[in-house]
Structure 1
Amino acid sequence: MKTTAIMERLAGLGGAKWDIHLKARAMAAAGKDIVEMTIGEPDVPTPPELMEAAEKAMRDGRTGYSDGRGEINLRRALAEHYSQSRGRSFEPDNILCFPGTQTALFAALLGAAETGDEVLVGDPMYATYEGVIRASGARMVPVPLRPEAGFRMRGQDLAERITPRTRAILLNTPHNPTGAVLTADDLEAIGALALKHDLWIISDEVYEHLVFDGSRFVSPLSLRRIADRVIAVSSISKSHAAPGFRSGWCVAPKPFCDALLPVSETMLFGNQPFIADMTELAIRKGSSVAEGMRQRFATRADLLAERLGSQTDLTVHKPQAGMFAMIDISATGLDGATYASDLLENSGVAVMPGASFGDTLDKWVRVALTIHDHDLEKAMDRIIEHSRKLKRAAA
């Protein structure tokens, strides 16, 4: 039976990248002792006050249809938050609400690019970016994020890949999987190219509240000279430990939001009112869990770098933010996929092959910093012993 072009464009971009994670889950279900470092979810439950707000809203009857743009109370809260944090004025009509960052990103790409266009995105990248770009009909153009540059996007690398077909630059700051944070100078250089070539800048900012000490988050929304071409997406999934509630949004110029509204309404027609009420509370009160996560993830990254750096030939790239750390495994002589498979089979530690996030990371693996400290100690012990076995076998 004939299928559609979008299904053909997205073929092969589903669960295949997560095979190692699924295999680890199956091994654990069969009784194997597995330390899982593949998926990054908050290491604390959703705060009780948010759960109570959602429950109260449901009991108060907030279970009907929503405003297609998203509930006005939430959009007002977001407009106030972004006005305060970005240093310029935002209104509720600059906001569209979606069930999570992923849906907001999907819609934003549909509004910014189409068949025949090109979208520039850093390589490595979050695993779904290729899919949301392809879904729009556009072609993904990877821009290498180099370890020697701290995995931050460089203007020169970007400029070399701009063509007359380029329509948008997709940024992720703080970055998944590397934890890199773009600086104000980085964004100024990227913004200058967007102005010169009339490009959209789409910024995924979901890790904004998990920036470690010594680094500072800057949003392209703060740069006034490119304000009319920036689209930002985010959610409460990471900052408020609420990924299952699927509550996100898009912040953009009003004309873009107005034009995207029919797309949004065709997809889902607003977000759930009771979740919007919970999210309004989250935005107005701030997060009670982000600071603790930020400190724990930074400490775990430091510990991982110290132990593996002193006891193996592996090199940990210390992140500036987020939930993950990258490990350079090139000294083993293996590619990331082979290393990850061997580590799982022989040592019971599940990590993600770097190539799941782009060709740049073929000799790397990504580890989640969200496991509890005793599990991290166990994982490090196993990784160190596994590294010694590989070294003995190669001798």
Structure 2
Amino acid sequence: MRYASITSRLAELGSGKWTLHIRARQLKASGADIIELTIGEPDLPPDRALLDECQRAMNAGRYRYSNGRGEPGVVAALVEKYCRRRADVTAENILCFPGTQTALFAVMLGLAEAGDGVLVGDPLYATYEGVIRSTGAHPAFVPLKPKHGFHMQADDLEKAVTPDCRVLLLNTPHNPTGAVLTGAEVAAIGEVARRHDLWIVCDEVYEELVFDATFASPFDNPDLAERTIVVSSISKSHAAPGFRSGWAIGPAEFTRRLLPVSETMLFGQQPFIADMTAYALTHEIDTARQMREAYKRRARRIADGLAKVPGVSVLAPEAGMFALIDVAGTGLSGEAFAWALLEEEGVAVMPGSSFGEEARDFLRMSLTVPDAAIDEACRRIASLAERLSLLRERRA
């Protein structure tokens, strides 16, 4: 039988990147003592008020058809949120989607097609390459270098631009590295985008989980307004990933053109979830503060717990739910170390290679487990690293 070419383009870009995570789940289900540090699923539940609002909306009959742009209440809440950043935002700048992933897919479908290049940092979130290739476009990787704290540099972006590039897919705060671009870096990147007439699609899902840095975005620069689209959701900010509630904010002409694409895919979000999202955006909810404090503390515990371990160093994140650990000094790649860690020590982390070539020597370790589990995971990582160090000494 014949299949559409998208199935070939995405054949290796789905769950294959999560093979270690899937294996860890299997081992855990069979009774193995596994500390799971693979995915960014908040360990706090959503605030009770959000669950109550969702239930209230369902009981009030808010389960009928929606509209393509988004329910009026959540659109109004998004206008209020983004007007605090740029005063010209109206309902015409907004489209609602079931989560950031769906928003990214639809936005990219509206901006790129076969033969186009989409610039994206390497390392990158694991689904980005699939989002790009689904359109027929190809990724043009911009190296995010450890010596710069994995912050995208305008000079590196400039070198990666080719005549077929149409879009820059930016992510700040960044997954998997936790890097937060500075205002100066954003301005320099924006200037490259203007010079080459690039769209900027900025994934800002970790905006509320910045530790001590200052969040900056191309969206906030009026000179970049005509070319910038922000995608985000309540998945991380409100510990509600399963509710699948996100959005895209961009120029009015862009949302007008993308609306039929969105309607063809989805034709609206569940009204009761939209009502919950509007409540989340318009009330003081403490979840993000609690997560910021917990994740920052746990990142510090990892750095302290592995500080004297041979061959291992920790990159302190500036935001988000993950810490990167450089294991190059152990003599193993990130991939090999991660599998050895699972098989010998019962700790599941993501190999950096799942996120790109520039992270091949790293592990991504989730911060979304209790402190005691973090400490025990560090003890087990140290145990493996010390055994590897002894092996190297014996061979020397």
TM range (shorter): over 0.9
1:73 maps onto 2:89 in alignment: no
Matched residue type, 1:36? E
1:209-228 mapped onto 2 (5 Å cutoff): 209-213=208-212, 215-228=213-226
1:394 maps onto 2:395 in alignment: no
Matched residue type, 2:272? F
1:236-251 mapped onto 2 (5 Å cutoff): 236-251=234-249
2:56 alignment partner in structure 1: 56
Matched residue type, 1:175? H
Q: How many residues align?
A: 393
Matched residue type, 1:328? D
Alignment check: 8 A CA contact 1:239 1:287 kept: no
SS at match of 2:343: helix
Q: Give, in angstroms, the shift of residue 183 of structure 1.
A: 0.8
2:321 alignment partner in structure 1: 323
Q: CA deviation digits over 1:125-169, x for unaligned, max 9?
A: 000000000011111011100011110110111001111111000
TM (norm. structure 2) is 0.98
2:310 alignment partner in structure 1: 312
1:180-199 mapped onto 2 (5 Å cutoff): 180-199=179-198
SS at match of 1:203: strand
Q: Which of 254, 267, 270 lines up with 2:265 in the alignment?
A: 267
Q: CA deviation digits over 1:336-371, x for unaligned, max 9?
A: 111101011111111110000001111111000111
Q: Give, in angstroms, the shift of residue 287 of structure 1.
A: 3.0
Paired-residue identity, %? 53
Matched residue type, 1:117? D
2:5 alignment partner in structure 1: 5
Taking the aligned partners of 1:162 and 1:333, their CA distance within structure 2 comes to: 34
SS at match of 1:309: coil
1:356-395 mapped onto 2 (5 Å cutoff): 356-395=354-393
2:17 alignment partner in structure 1: 17
1:283 alignment partner in structure 2: 281
SS at match of 1:327: strand
Matched residue type, 1:287? I
Q: CA deviation digits over 1:230-285, x for unaligned, max 9?
A: 00000000000000000000000000000000000000001110000000000001
CA-based RMSD: 0.8
SS at match of 1:55: helix
Matched residue type, 1:217? F
List alignment gaps of at least 5 residues for structure 1. Answer: none
Alignment check: 8 A CA contact 1:107 1:264 kept: yes
Matched residue type, 2:170? L
Q: Give, in angstroms, the shift of residue 73 of structure 1.
A: 1.1
Alignment check: 8 A CA contact 2:234 2:245 kept: yes
User: How has the CA–CA distance of structure 1 residues 286 and 141 changed in structure 2, closer, same or farther, with 3 Å as cutoff?
Assistant: farther
Alignment check: 8 A CA contact 1:88 1:222 kept: no
Taking the aligned partners of 1:138 and 1:10, their CA distance within structure 2 comes to: 12
Alignment check: 8 A CA contact 2:47 2:287 kept: yes
Alignment check: 8 A CA contact 1:210 1:322 kept: yes
Alignment check: 8 A CA contact 2:179 2:318 kept: yes
1:117-156 mapped onto 2 (5 Å cutoff): 117-156=116-155
Q: Give, in angstroms, the shift of residue 304 of structure 1.
A: 0.7
SS at match of 1:80: helix
1:158 alignment partner in structure 2: 157
List alignment gaps of at least 5 residues for structure 2. Answer: none
Matched residue type, 1:233? V
Alignment check: 8 A CA contact 1:115 1:136 kept: yes
Alignment check: 8 A CA contact 2:124 2:355 kept: yes
Taking the aligned partners of 2:324 and 2:62, their CA distance within structure 1 comes to: 43
Taking the aligned partners of 1:391 and 1:137, their CA distance within structure 2 comes to: 45
Q: Give, in angstroms, the shift of residue 89 of structure 1.
A: 2.1
Matched residue type, 2:59? R
> Which of structure 1's runs of 4+ aligned residues deviate more than 3 A?
none
SS at match of 1:310: coil
1:349 alignment partner in structure 2: 347
Alignment check: 8 A CA contact 2:125 2:355 kept: yes
Q: CA deviation digits over 1:82-139, x for unaligned, max 9?
A: 011x133211111100000000000110111111110000000000000000011111
Q: CA deviation digits over 1:20-49, x for unaligned, max 9?
A: 111111111111101011011111011111
TM (norm. structure 1) is 0.98
